[in-house]
Amino acid sequence: MIPLFEILAEASFWAAALAIATPLVFGTLGALLCERAGILNLGIEGIFAAGALAGFLAVHLGADIGTAVMFALLTGAGIGFAHGLLTGPFGLSQPLTGIGITLLAAGLAAFAFTALFGPAPPKITALEPIYLPWISDLPFIGAALLQTPLTYVAIVLAFAVTYLFTRTPLGLAIRACGENPAAVTAQGRSVHALRIGAVMAGSALMALGGASLSLAAGSFSAGMVNGRGFICLALTTLTGWRTSLILVVALLVGAIDAYQLRAQKELALAPQIFLMIPFVVLIISLALTRTSRRPRALLFGSATDNDRDRD
Contact residues for another protein, defined by CB under 8 A: 40, 42, 45, 86, 90-93, 95-97, 99-104, 106-108, 110-112, 114-115, 182, 222, 226-227, 230-231, 233-234, 237, 270, 272-273, 275-276, 279-280, 282-283, 286-287, 289-291, 294, 298-300, 303, 308, 310-311
Backbone φ, ψ for residue 61 (5° rounding): -85, 5
Beta carbon of residue 215, minimum distance to another protein (angstroms, whole number): 22
Q: Residue 215 in 3-state DSSP?
A: helix
SS3 of 32-64: the string is: HHHHHCCCCCCCHHHHHHHHHHHHHHHHHCCCC
Contact 263, 274 (CB under 8 A): yes
Q: Nearer Cβ to another protein, position 150 or 253? A: 253
Closest approach of another protein to the CB of residue 122, in Å: 17
Contacting residues for 204 by C-beta, under 8 A, at least 6 apart: 30, 72, 73, 74, 76, 77, 80
> How far is it, in rounded angstroms, from Cα 213 to Cα 24?
10
CB of 11 to another protein, least distance (A): 30
Q: Among residues 26 and 230, whose Cβ is nearest to another protein?
A: 230
**Least Å from the CB of residue 3 to another protein:** 26
What does the alpha-carbon distance between residue 229 and residue 127 come to, in Å, rounded to a whole number? 22
Rounded least distance, CB 229 to another protein, Å: 9
Q: Which is nearer to another protein, 268 or 287 (CB)?
A: 287
97 vs 151, beta carbon nearer another protein: 97
Shortest Cβ 178–another protein spacing (Å): 13
| Alpha carbon distance 55, 141 (integer Å) | 29
**CB of 76 or CB of 100, closer to another protein:** 100
244 versus 289: smaller Cβ distance to another protein = 289
For another protein, the closer CB: 4 or 273: 273
Q: How far is the CB of 114 from another protein (least distance, A)?
A: 4
| Distance, CA of 8 to CA of 10 (rounded, Å) | 6
Q: At CB < 8 A and 24+ separation, what contacts does 68-71 make?
A: 68/211, 68/215, 69/150, 69/208, 69/211
CA distances from 83 to 197, 202, 227 (A): 11, 11, 20
